[in-house]
Structure 1
Amino acid sequence: MKRQKPRTLPHHRIQRLRIVGGFLDGLDISFADGLNCIIGPRGAGKTTILEIIRFALDAMPGREGDPLRKRIESVVTSNLDGGRVELMVETKDGQIYKIIRSPGEPPIVLDAGGEPLPGVKVRGGRLFQADILSQNQMESIAENPHYQLDLIDKFSDGELVGIDGEISATQGQLESNARELLPLLARQAALVTETKELPSVEAKLKGMQQTAGPNAEAINAGHAHRALREREVMAIDEVRRMCAEAVKSVTSAKNRLGTEIDSLINAEITGGPNGARMQRIAEAMHGAIREFDRLLDEAVIALRVGGKTLVAEKEGLEQDHIRQETAFRQLLDKHKEAQTCSTARTMEEKRRNELIFKQRELADVTRQVAQLDDERRSHLGHLSSLFDKRFQIRHEIATTLTDDLAPSIRVTVRQCGDRDAYRAHLETVFRVPTIKGGIVARKVAEALPPQELVQMVRKGDGQAIAEACGLNSNQAEAVISILSQPQNLFALELVEMHDAPSIELSDRGEFRDSSALSTGQKCTAILPILLFDSVNPLLIDQPEDNLDNSYVFETVVQSIRKVKAGRQMIFITHNPNIPVLGEASMVFVMDSNRTQGGVSRSGDVDKCKRDIVTILEGGEEAFMARKERYNY
């Protein structure tokens, strides 16, 4: 972000607002470029206009559950009263879109000709961004790091929107990866435990071979062949099982698709206003399914042909086995001394065969785990690079703001500086009676970032954790024991430490964080950033709140004059300095009869002069009385 002079390049614009239904039914406003001011008595619907524009753009503040977001949703729902809002916008690239939205519904986006644009979303600012602040929201920004990050991110011209989308997608891939890995790891652990028995079983068999007597070679060969015969049967049964599962899966897919399509695209839908199109969709899908079924039938036939060959060969193999087993028994009959341990040896060979098959399964599971581990490391590396890229953009924005707003305002961003979510996650995980979870979580969160902690846990390095976090050995071992569980380790890898912004105001030469300032100082710290050059329209409800008139004139009005040639602004105001001295391009005068609100007059400052004097100056008599009092 590099900018020294006011923007004269193209920028986003809100062209027109129409409201159908509710308190402002019939409202139709065409906004000008530059400064637009909305004035009027309380209860005329001024604030409602701003919140309805925010609603149309799906640009609600904060995160889910934010109190301000809930309040705005309530205001919009009650004022629209089942109606709708239509918003015409023009992007900096000259593209014009119409956005239509009703309460409880997502925005509908149309092109300039009124044709719908399926798949085009408003949410997230990919299509169009505006900076919108409700009344007193500047104070909230000064106090809330999340709001401050949102404010900084607005200056990225949409670049961070794409990065945030990539971050969400990568986090989703990691969650999917964990869902695949967890059952495989559990199975791998069980197989590792079971197959540990294999060396002892083989040692027993070796001892039995050594005590087979003078005919050991023939008897050992007979037992080895008997064990091999059992593995042959096991191998065939496993192949049959795999083929049967494949046929079952194919048949299930074949029988399910057509039925599900018919249940979704049913007679009610095909009988509706879009029935012809829906019928064509259903017919096209049924045609595709018929071809799909044909190919599946061929696949099933191929498996069944192979199955018949398998059955025939197995019958022949069983006959071979019977002959071979008979010969082996005859051998044992000749050597009575070998019969004594034959049963025990057979049981051990059977167990060895089972373990060999489990060892084969273990190798397959281990291969899958290794593949998923590689994928996970790749996703984690990509996620880390995205976090770095996002921080770098935020850092550059903060530097530009600081340089331009010096010496009164300083903006910084500390990478991964917000550890609240990380600490809260650890407190939840460490909620066990053996350790003081809250204390341990706080110490660990303050000392080690998640990825460094993950590496120490994987290594089982309790001493390093204890030294880094100031824990005793029992606490460090408990941390490893808890976090080494795969589900906890995977969750820890996904814990995000947000960047920590800081907006500071110079107070008598000393910078103070915005959260520690008085209400008026908070607005003094935030408003210049909002008025900074940007391609986004700026909408503020009463920017003069908590500011004295000298500051409004010297800072707010001067900033408006500086940027209005290259940025659209829509202000709701009760201060005459803003429209008059800011030389508003358009003034909209609102009024209401308590049940219906609307625009009673609109135009430039000269056309709306009498309304400005009446509403903002207290009337001509009050204005003249002040003039006489001041003796100007």
Structure 2
Amino acid sequence: MTEFHTKAQFWKCALQVNPVDYISYRGADHGMSQEQYNQKLVEVALENNIKVIGLADHGNVDGVDAIRTVMNQQGILVFPGFEIASTEKAHFVCLFPESTTIDQLNRYLGALGLTNPANGVWPSNLSGNDLLQKVEELGGVIYASHCTDDSGVLRQRLVHVWQNPLLKAAQIPGTLDDLKNGEGNAYRRILLNSDPAYRRDLPVGIINAKDVAEPDDLANPKASCLIKMTKPCFASFKLAFQDPQSRVRLNSDVSEKYYSRIERLKITGGYLDGVEIEFSEHLNAVIGGRGTGKSTLLECIRYALGLRPIGKNAQKQHDEIIKENLGNSRARVELVIRSSKMNGKRFIVARRYGESTNVSDEIGSPSTFTPADLLPEIEIYGQNEIYEIAQDKSSQRQLLSRFLESGQQDSEASIHQALQKLAENRQKLIEAQGRVAAIEDEVARLPKLEEQVGQFKSLGLEDKLKVVPLLETEKRLLKRVQAEEGPNLNEAFQTVRDSLPDTTFLSESSLEKLPHAERLRQMKTALDSLRVEAEILLNLWQSKYTTAKEGIDKLAQELTADILREEAVLEETFKGLPSSEGKTGKQIGLEFQALMKEIERIRPKKILIENHKKLTSELQKQRKSILDELSATRANRSAQFARALKRLNKRLAGKLRLEVKAESDKRPIIDFLLGCRMDGVGEARLSWVKDADDFSPVKLAEMIRGGADALRNAKWGLTPTVADALVRLAPDQVLQLEELELPDLINIELNTAHEGQENFRPLDKLSTGQQCTAILHLLLLQNLDPLMMDQPEDNLDNAFIADRIVAELRSAKIARQFIFATHNANIPVFGDAEWIGVFEAADGQAQMPVEAQGAIDVPEVRDKAAVILEGGRAAFNQRKAKYGF
């Protein structure tokens, strides 16, 4: 059965392995027969996950077949070849396709001018450049072995050979860092292509390929390197050296990267029925003609994750795509996710149309996590969504917020809490001030009521009715005893009873498997004992309370009876009062009684005014404290944000320039004041808000409380009409003004120069393509969760894609997963996508078989990509001719 590989990955390759007799060339002996040697080679190769062997004895190929046979039986690919010296005595290794026979190899040795086959170390009669040309003609790959040693092209300063584009790779003895000092640093600069005298158009591939003279040498990390291929084969191996920066690595270059990725996708039903994909953890590109399913695929992933697009148009388009492609057949999307947030654990996320998303662990057990828990910072952008961000300041601020440090996020949380406290404080303050005003209105009636009492006294009734106010005082005190003091105390004790310890949470079934269960059992015993003792005390108190209440109720009844008797006597007294001004004595008595009752009701409220004023004062102090704390937190947040932007600017040097103006977006103030509907004040009369520098919502509220003169003297340019209108704002509105949060103003500038002198221009002065390019620079910054985009090239400058975006992708994809749907060849080809999926449509159904998945080194994928992205070979060659390339 054919094994399909659908994504490029790094395969470990040992490219200078020698046969059994090679060690005798060094004057040593390992004591193994050929069969023993070859079998040990296989064992060490398998133990070290080596997938490709390059055979490179000095001018000798006799041992090729024996090694190739045992290696192939274990699935290890062998590129046969040999090592050869040029006339300059520089050493090279020549490797050829896996199917090359020994007879062919011997002919190649002759063609390469090795005139004395019996002496493999004898130099060829060809120069280094001639060897490079000849090996190319023979269909092989040649690299400079031991390039920094005595027999190396760099040690011999063969600049003309080094700069020959047919030289694909150079072997170094260790890491590049090993060459940092002394003479080695000069080699290091050459290898990094930064020495002008040795500069190449295409940098050389840097490999480790230490001579393997004994099988155990294969275990040395310096004996192998990593070559990226979809499926190991010589064609893919050779192609890798066309892009060595992406496809050739030393073992020492690879460090473990911890980031999230969508590993697999499967769709059942709908337009994409049967599509199964194993994504690369690096760069993935979905290509295909229009209507073949590229956008649908990305929107299906978004749907499965329960995410919504940013803009209204994008949301509408998303809903239409999902309904059309999943809805009719109730299709299902399944993803396998590896989550960095969950320490690299895998989860299965599945969603069927019309249902909620289900999350399970990798063995299928239901999980309580949501997709947002697993991929909290995943970013998915459909067509034109980047453009929407470029037009919206709040979206830009939201985008930048993901670069904030935890301390800055803490500041945001503190600010949110402070604003909530201010809102709660405002409600209490307005209520307290309202109560004070209402009580003051009532207390203000006392002088008039007392003056009326004086009129009654003038009738000579004071002595006869002096008991009236005393009886009203007794009624008020009796009401407090019965309705407040006793019941309040009883309610407090009931609260204590409701709060007694409940130890059911420490049941034996909960404790039995715990390592320190005995400690918890002892705690349960102590709590149970406390509850019992507390219940005894509470029952004792309840008995005392019941007894006391019965006594109080009896006294209350007696007092009520006393008051009623006194009032009955008053009734008789009222009848004996002289009439006056047409009122009978009884009417006069009742009026006096009602008057004294009202006075007794209002008089205690004098004390309440003071209490409420103290409460109001305390609330105002609390508010000032919250505002002071809020001001400090905002200042800290602004400083942290500025520092974060400074670091961002370093990472974006030469591409973007970011500037923040703290709390400078004053639109919320204008919108708030317009919402207050002040007479004669429209938006034009509020233009001073934008222009004022020494200004904040808190300061404006302070000036409003200071009156119209304070506002006019603030030098903000207010007209008298506006100043008068502001001081008429309700107290609640002035307090709300203090609670307004002003966003920062973010200024984003893009370097529009492709090369040479930098030319930074602000976002609002750029073309649509340039604006989207600026936003994409931010999206490509480090993030542990995937970035998915649908046809980013639609709104991007094509030159910027090639010069900037692709370069960033090649760098960023090492530590982040990207999934792009695209028509632009630059992204999958020059970005060197590890996985390219080619969509085709047939009979109203999207198709992407495994044969149409892989990297550019897969012939079928390469040919389909050329047709879709370039218009085919003929169109590509025609453009090439017209451009004169």
Shorter chain as denominator, the TM-score bin is 0.7 to 0.9
On the 8 A contact 1:16/1:89 being kept in 2, the answer is: no
Q: How does 1:133-532 map to 2 (within 5 A)?
A: 133-156=381-404, 171=419, 175=423, 182-183=430-431, 185-202=433-450, 219=463, 223=466, 226-237=468-479, 311-322=553-564, 346-359=593-606, 387-388=634-635, 390-429=637-676, 431-432=677-678, 434-444=679-689, 446-447=691-692, 448-457=695-704, 459-468=705-714, 469-482=716-729, 484-486=730-732, 488-507=733-752, 511-532=760-781
Q: CA deviation at 1:620?
A: 2.3
Quick one: structure 1 residues 555 and 436, their matched pair in 2 at CA, closer, same or farther if it must change by over 3 Å? same
Quick one: structure 1 residues 455 and 110, their matched pair in 2 at CA, closer, same or farther if it must change by over 3 Å? farther
Q: CA deviation at 1:564?
A: 1.6
Distance in 2 (CA, whole Å) between partners of 1:530 and 1:22 is 31
More helix per residue: 1
Q: CA deviation at 1:21?
A: 3.9
Within the candidate set 767, 771, 791, 1:542 is matched to 791
Correspondence for 1:571: 820
1:418 partner SS: coil
Distance in 1 (CA, whole Å) between partners of 2:719 and 2:783 is 53
On the 8 A contact 1:414/1:500 being kept in 2, the answer is: yes
Number of matched pairs: 566
Partner amino acid for 1:420? Answer: R
Distance in 1 (CA, whole Å) between partners of 2:363 and 2:613 is 58
Distance in 2 (CA, whole Å) between partners of 1:143 and 1:382 is 34
Partner amino acid for 1:17? Answer: L
Distance in 2 (CA, whole Å) between partners of 1:111 and 1:385 is 45
Q: CA deviation at 1:546?
A: 4.6
Partner amino acid for 2:261? Answer: R
Q: CA deviation at 1:562?
A: 1.7
Q: CA deviation at 1:230?
A: 1.0
Q: Percent identity?
A: 30
Deviations 1:541-560 (A, max 9, x none): 22333545543232122112
Q: CA deviation at 1:410?
A: 0.9
Distance in 2 (CA, whole Å) between partners of 1:630 and 1:456 is 69
Distance in 2 (CA, whole Å) between partners of 1:22 and 1:164 is 44
1:417 partner SS: coil
Correspondence for 1:130: 378
On the 8 A contact 1:7/1:565 being kept in 2, the answer is: no
Correspondence for 2:879: 626
On the 8 A contact 2:782/2:812 being kept in 1, the answer is: yes
2:663 partner SS: strand
On the 8 A contact 1:32/1:585 being kept in 2, the answer is: yes
On the 8 A contact 2:415/2:630 being kept in 1, the answer is: yes
Q: CA deviation at 1:72?
A: 2.9
Greater shift, 328-337 or 420-429, is seen at 328-337
Distance in 1 (CA, whole Å) between partners of 2:746 and 2:862 is 42
Quick one: structure 1 residues 301 and 595, their matched pair in 2 at CA, closer, same or farther if it must change by over 3 Å? farther
The reply on whether 1:33 has 2:281 as its aligned counterpart is yes
Within the candidate set 563, 568, 587, 2:836 is matched to 587
Correspondence for 1:610: 863
Partner amino acid for 1:75? Answer: I
Partner amino acid for 1:597? Answer: A
Distance in 1 (CA, whole Å) between partners of 2:304 and 2:796 is 30
Distance in 2 (CA, whole Å) between partners of 1:460 and 1:525 is 46
1:411 partner SS: strand
Partner amino acid for 1:86? Answer: E
Quick one: structure 1 residues 420 and 316, their matched pair in 2 at CA, closer, same or farther if it must change by over 3 Å? same
Quick one: structure 1 residues 28 and 198, their matched pair in 2 at CA, closer, same or farther if it must change by over 3 Å? farther
Quick one: structure 1 residues 449 and 107, their matched pair in 2 at CA, closer, same or farther if it must change by over 3 Å? farther
Correspondence for 1:23: 271
Distance in 1 (CA, whole Å) between partners of 2:638 and 2:377 is 20
Partner amino acid for 2:346? Answer: I
On the 8 A contact 1:6/1:533 being kept in 2, the answer is: no
Partner amino acid for 1:402? Answer: N
Distance in 2 (CA, whole Å) between partners of 1:335 and 1:408 is 101
Greater shift, 446-455 or 416-425, is seen at 446-455
Correspondence for 1:273: none
1:156 partner SS: coil
Q: CA deviation at 1:389?
A: 5.1
Q: CA deviation at 1:43?
A: 1.0
Deviations 1:180-199 (A, max 9, x none): 66555444432222222235
Task: Give the alignment's TM-score, normalised by structure 1.
Answer: 0.75
Q: CA deviation at 1:453?
A: 1.9
Partner amino acid for 1:351? Answer: E
Distance in 1 (CA, whole Å) between partners of 2:297 and 2:408 is 28
Distance in 1 (CA, whole Å) between partners of 2:867 and 2:821 is 16
On the 8 A contact 1:243/1:303 being kept in 2, the answer is: no
Quick one: structure 1 residues 186 and 22, their matched pair in 2 at CA, closer, same or farther if it must change by over 3 Å? farther
On the 8 A contact 1:126/1:161 being kept in 2, the answer is: no
Q: CA deviation at 1:316?
A: 0.8
Deviations 1:159-204 (A, max 9, x none): 7667656655665565556556655544443222222223554566
Greater RCO structure (CA 8 Å; 6+ sep)? 1
On the 8 A contact 1:43/1:594 being kept in 2, the answer is: no
Q: CA deviation at 1:618?
A: 1.0
Deviations 1:434-491 (A, max 9, x none): 322323444346534222222333x343222233342234431321212x332x2343
Q: CA deviation at 1:39?
A: 0.9
Correspondence for 1:551: 800
On the 8 A contact 1:57/1:122 being kept in 2, the answer is: yes
Distance in 2 (CA, whole Å) between partners of 1:527 and 1:302 is 77
Distance in 1 (CA, whole Å) between partners of 2:332 and 2:409 is 27
Deviations 1:262-286 (A, max 9, x none): xxxxxxxxxxxxxxxxxxxxxxxxx
Distance in 2 (CA, whole Å) between partners of 1:485 and 1:334 is 55
Quick one: structure 1 residues 96 and 555, their matched pair in 2 at CA, closer, same or farther if it must change by over 3 Å? same
Deviations 1:552-597 (A, max 9, x none): 2321221122222112111222122222222211111122236332
Distance in 1 (CA, whole Å) between partners of 2:363 and 2:406 is 25
Q: CA deviation at 1:495?
A: 2.8
Partner amino acid for 2:711? Answer: I
1:498 partner SS: coil
Distance in 2 (CA, whole Å) between partners of 1:15 and 1:384 is 46
Greater shift, 44-53 or 375-384, is seen at 375-384
1:395 partner SS: helix
Distance in 2 (CA, whole Å) between partners of 1:34 and 1:61 is 24
Within the candidate set 79, 91, 96, 2:325 is matched to 79
Q: CA deviation at 1:616?
A: 1.0
On the 8 A contact 2:773/2:797 being kept in 1, the answer is: no
Within the candidate set 333, 340, 346, 1:91 is matched to 340
On the 8 A contact 1:408/1:505 being kept in 2, the answer is: yes
Distance in 2 (CA, whole Å) between partners of 1:168 and 1:572 is 39
Q: CA deviation at 1:351?
A: 2.4
Partner amino acid for 2:856? Answer: V
Quick one: structure 1 residues 619 and 333, their matched pair in 2 at CA, closer, same or farther if it must change by over 3 Å? closer
Quick one: structure 1 residues 454 and 548, their matched pair in 2 at CA, closer, same or farther if it must change by over 3 Å? closer
Distance in 1 (CA, whole Å) between partners of 2:433 and 2:731 is 10
Task: Give the alignment's TM-score, normalised by structure 2.
Answer: 0.55
On the 8 A contact 1:402/1:409 being kept in 2, the answer is: yes
Partner amino acid for 2:807? Answer: Q
Within the candidate set 834, 841, 848, 1:599 is matched to 848
Distance in 1 (CA, whole Å) between partners of 2:380 and 2:397 is 14
Correspondence for 1:256: none
